[in-house]
Chain A
């Protein structure tokens, strides 16, 4: 390992620029670490904005009746909350992690296409300015739900083309980001970093990038058809002209289902890095993890109909989508088994990244099981569009994707800043989050099974108690995230000096460079052996 560290210091010679000064550093940067930081900060901002919208929703739902907001605004909140969390918070957070970590994990000097990397990021602030501005337009922002189903979405006011074009911008950004990830992983690995030696976070991102490039353009096509249907009198979704609104649902969910894996596969990767570190054992079943990820990605293309069981598809389609969806449980089960087996008889310690990862394994699995329930077509006739669905996808996205992002930030923050975070405060953050999130989402299962529909600002009296509980959980969870912001700022500014390896059980190239990681790492490729490649 000495050789690697040595190379890093060598690469810091006079032909190298450090970071530029002032705002220009961030606007014009081509450095993967700078861009990673930008992505992560942007994602945090969006997380707080989207979270505030969720709190407006939960505040309104605290009691039956209309208290705080009018129904149209409520619908705008559910729509914007989803669009912001999906495209503004979760996806950019993972791209930020990819930017920071992929080059360091595979021993590359930077991302393959550094200028395009900057562009991928800097499109986002403009896209979300455009999206958020729609809230102030005549007729308000989009209120159709993030799925944008026609004909409802075509009733959006002046906001409509802004929403569609903002989505186009996000799509351009994601596609360029994904192309960069693929080019980096295929072309920038240090000699000896064979595909089957890559850390799992790299593997999951490779497959995620493929999914992104395959489905974001399809989404772009779908929203383009919406735009031309509204403004140029095309008939894609208009039965009078021979089109069909159901067609939109097919195209949307052909994108939408892989999209949920875009948000969870990198999470799998993060957890597969963290658990071995704190269990002090290599990841159990590395190969099966890779194959399971690929299998999940493949299956994600042929299950979209499970979002449409009640729309009136032919029986054969219902059956096909039902069985195909259930098949996903197999590779997912392999993963959960592997994580548990990695911990089995490990010398475990429970620092905050590990706590979030263990919570991820348990709570994501709950979300997976409710997903299996929803996959049963005849049962879905009952659950469809109820709070049970809301509970399901929030379990996979919040204690799933978001917890993994939190885990990743705590895990790598010492490497990024050179400081250890405050372990005591971060554990408080963890326990408040994990308790809050369960109070928030678990009762929604009961509400859904009892028949409460989603996307409603008012509800029947019998749903009151669990809604109150859920709203209390929402505020516990939401407010405790401010603690996270505080901890991160505190760690950036000060804190105990982190060692290069940071964690006793950490393996992999990123732990061989100094903390904080120098502006340029691995200008000269490191030597890779079977032992230093991954954890």
Chain B
């Protein structure tokens, strides 16, 4: 099967089964850590195998791509794949946003006797009044102060929005075949992503030490940390993807016309950015 003629179907590949073994070891290691049976060794071995798989798998794909095996049709398959993968990620976040919404709109007001739910209130939680942020009628995690939206979160929002803009500049430069410009803007995007992550970590430390806002601080702490935590994880993944792309660009990969690897990273970064905007509004502002 030659280039751009027919659909490239790779014959035999070891990477999926390596990935399965890596995933399995990672999961077994994690589960045994949670039950307290093992330390992190097995988990780390699994993660190392997964990392090895990612290098091998993406390495193979990049090699095939650079040797011109991929037709426009293969390119479109990657586009469909990436698009629907991002959709699945959106639905994952939706579950946690749903939890936040449900707690604020239903669970907490009902415990406080709203909407005719007087029995719950009177017999189970008579002293409870609805305020947000709330750690519930049991005030789990002790007294805390909520995270404000001004200052740090706003700065972080501006940083992420800026990073989306710089990434768009990088994309424009790529389209106009201005490689150095593309690389500069891309590097700046990664730096902004890393600054965001650094500030986010600082915010966590601040929340734990100064505000006593912890993961166990009732539903507020749960939703705050799980949403921002998973988002932070996605920023980290996005930054790693962009770094890989930067490495490829430095080696002269991609052309003005064909650069879906880069575009996929751009899609992912914008997705992470949009999730943050929802997060900023729902978690910090409202």
Give the contact stretch, choosing among B81-89, B197-205, B257-265. Answer: B81-89
Q: Which residues of B contact A168 (CB under 8 A)?
A: 27
Residues A122 and B20 in contact, CB atoms below 8 Å apart: yes
Residues B98 and A251 in contact, CB atoms below 8 Å apart: yes
Residues A162 and B88 in contact, CB atoms below 8 Å apart: no
Instruction: Decide: A109 near B95, CB < 8 A? Known: A27-B17, A241-B222, A247-B102.
Output: no
A320 at the interface (CB under 8 A from B): no
User: How many Å lie between the Cα of A77 and that of B165 in the bound state?
Assistant: 55
**Interface residue count for B (Cβ, 8 Å)?**
71
Pick the contact of A113: B35, B81, B115 (CB < 8 A).
B81
Residues A17 and B11 in contact, CB atoms below 8 Å apart: yes
Residues B103 and A222 in contact, CB atoms below 8 Å apart: no
> When each residue 212-236 of chain A gets 1 if its CB lies under 8 Å from chain B and 0 otherwise, what string results?
0111111011101101100111111
Residues B88 and A216 in contact, CB atoms below 8 Å apart: yes
Residues A126 and B23 in contact, CB atoms below 8 Å apart: yes
Nearest to B31 among chain A residues (CB) is A161
B123 at the interface (CB under 8 A from A): no
Tally of A-B residue pairs with Cβ under 8 A?
A: 232
Q: Which residues of B contact A251 (CB under 8 A)?
A: 95, 98-99
User: How many Å lie between the Cα of A254 and that of B106 in the bound state?
Assistant: 17
User: How many Å lie between the Cα of A355 and that of B50 in the bound state?
Assistant: 47
Residues B107 and A241 in contact, CB atoms below 8 Å apart: no
B206 at the interface (CB under 8 A from A): no
Residues A239 and B136 in contact, CB atoms below 8 Å apart: yes
Q: Which residues of A contact B141 (CB under 8 A)?
A: 233, 241
User: How many Å lie between the Cα of A242 and that of B102 in the bound state?
Assistant: 10
Question: On chain A, which size bracket covers the interface?
Answer: 35 or more
Give the contact stretch, choosing among A41-49, A180-188, A491-499. Answer: A180-188
A336 at the interface (CB under 8 A from B): no
Question: Distance (Å) between the CB of A499 and the closest chain B CB?
Answer: 28
Residues A241 and B136 in contact, CB atoms below 8 Å apart: yes
Q: Which residues of A contact B134 (CB under 8 A)?
A: 242
Residues B138 and A241 in contact, CB atoms below 8 Å apart: yes
Interface residues in chain B, defined as those with a beta carbon under 8 Å from any beta carbon in chain A:
1, 6-7, 9-17, 19-21, 23-24, 27-28, 30-31, 34-35, 37, 57, 73, 76-78, 80-81, 84-85, 87-89, 91-96, 98-99, 102-103, 106-108, 111, 115, 124-125, 134-138, 140-141, 215-223, 225-226
19 pairs, A vs B, C-beta closer than 8 Å: A30-B13, A119-B19, A122-B17, A160-B35, A161-B34, A168-B27, A172-B23, A175-B85, A179-B88, A188-B73, A188-B77, A217-B95, A218-B91, A218-B92, A231-B34, A236-B99, A236-B223, A243-B107, A251-B95
Having A218-B95, A221-B93, one finds 10 other A-B pairs with CB under 8 Å, namely A109-B6, A116-B16, A119-B19, A122-B16, A126-B20, A183-B81, A214-B87, A235-B136, A239-B138, A241-B222
